[in-house]
Amino acid sequence: MGNIVLKCDNLYKNFGKKEILKNVSLELEESNILGFIGPNGAGKTTTIKLILGLQSITAGNVSINGYDIKKNFTKAIERVGTIVENPDLYMYLSGYDNLKVISRMYKGIGKERIEQVIDMVGLRNRINDKVSKYSLGMRQRLGIAQAIMHKPNLLILDEPNNGLDPEGIKDVRDLLVKLAKEEKMAILISSHNLAELENFCNKICIIKGGEIIETSDIKDITGMAAGHVRVIEVNNTARITRLFSDAEVVDKTHFKISVEKDGVPEIVKALVEEGISIYSVIEEEISLEDAFLKKTGGNVID
């Protein structure tokens, strides 16, 4: 188990009499990328604002690197980098000059760190061009460069892929994986692009109606949502529904059946006794999007 960088304990947020968040708890360790997902109005952005100290906490606690956000805000936030949707950039300055402006906001950040960050985000060949000439993906990478200038160990991103083309999305994905692995950075990313999150997040937290309904490794979430369905390939499925009333015939040679691992031998035995040849038994995998829809009842995503 790695060092816990971010910890939210029993967060509540009320606006007047309206309860926006209820008992929200989550943890994020170093080198982990946590995908934070939920339907419209579920409380993702509110949770992020509480973590960053942008809104007051009604009840509960947020600690970053062991510092309570309410009791010691300066120490808690000093190693946090963030982008909410689109980074703030000076469009008619060069990428390099944008980074110089940000570097002046922190103590002890000199040219060496600027050069290091440029290489980390892969903008070396275009860093002296005006930002107005950058693609959206390049602007997002520059925004991340700004966010990591002060060597944070927690990076929080809210919808970082908005408006990006496939190439830009891949660039951001590869960069985040690199930061988590090489810099041991903990990354919290809120996004509606579930297919993309599935490519690089190792953990997922699902929020619905202001409450956390699931926090697990991504493989566990998709596996549990699949319900232990096995896809079995045989030589002929003509007699399958007579043998197993709960089986779903897919085509002439495949059928699905929900069964725990310990129950597979019995299925195989029944098929063999019936003279049916078995070619493969595979546990069905479902996408993160399908798992999300199953767990939230089909709600629309932000």
pLDDT digits (tens, 9 = 90+) for 127-140: 999 999 998 889 98
In the numeric block, the tokens 């946590």 are attached to 34
Residue 37 has pLDDT above 80, yes or no: yes
CA distances 104 to 79, 101, 128, 223, 262, Å, are 16, 6, 18, 48, 62
199: confidence class by pLDDT, cuts 50, 70, 90: confident
Residues 148, 150, 152: CA angle, nearest 5 degrees: 60
pLDDT at 196: 81
- pLDDT, mean of residues 39-58: 91
List, in order, residues 6 or more apart from 99 with CB less than 8 Å away: 114, 117, 118, 127, 142, 145, 146, 149
Residues 49, 52, 54: CA angle, nearest 5 degrees: 55
227: confidence class by pLDDT, cuts 50, 70, 90: low
Range with the poorest average pLDDT among 148-162, 191-205, 257-271: 191-205
CA–CA gap between residue 260 and residue 258 (Å, rounded): 7
- pLDDT, mean of residues 205-229: 77
Residues 197, 202, 203: CA angle, nearest 5 degrees: 90
CA distances 85 to 157, 159, 161, 212, 227, Å, are 7, 5, 8, 22, 35
Q: 172 versus 75: which is more confidently predicted?
A: 75
Stated length of the chain: 302
Domain borders along the chain are 4-217, 224-288
> What is 4-217's CATH number, 2.40.50.140, 3.30.70.260, 3.10.20.740, 3.40.50.300?
3.40.50.300
Range with the poorest average pLDDT among 92-96, 97-101, 150-154, 188-192: 188-192
Q: Which of 206, 152, 147 lies closest to 172 in space, CA to CA?
A: 147
Residue 302 has pLDDT above 50, yes or no: no
- pLDDT, mean of residues 130-157: 93
284: confidence class by pLDDT, cuts 50, 70, 90: confident
Contact assessment for residue 40 and residue 302, using Cβ atoms and an 8 Å cutoff: yes
pTM tops 0.85, yes or no: no
pLDDT at 195: 77
In the numeric block, the tokens 């700004």 are attached to 146
Question: What is the four-CA torsion angle of 129, 79, 109, 146, rounded to 10 degrees?
Answer: 10
> For 101-228, where are the E strands, in sequence order?
154-158, 186-190, 203-208, 211-217
pLDDT at 171: 85
CATH topology of domain 224-288: Alpha-Beta Plaits (3.30.70)
**Mean pLDDT rounded to a whole number for the chain:** 88
pLDDT at 41: 84
Residue 223 has pLDDT above 90, yes or no: no
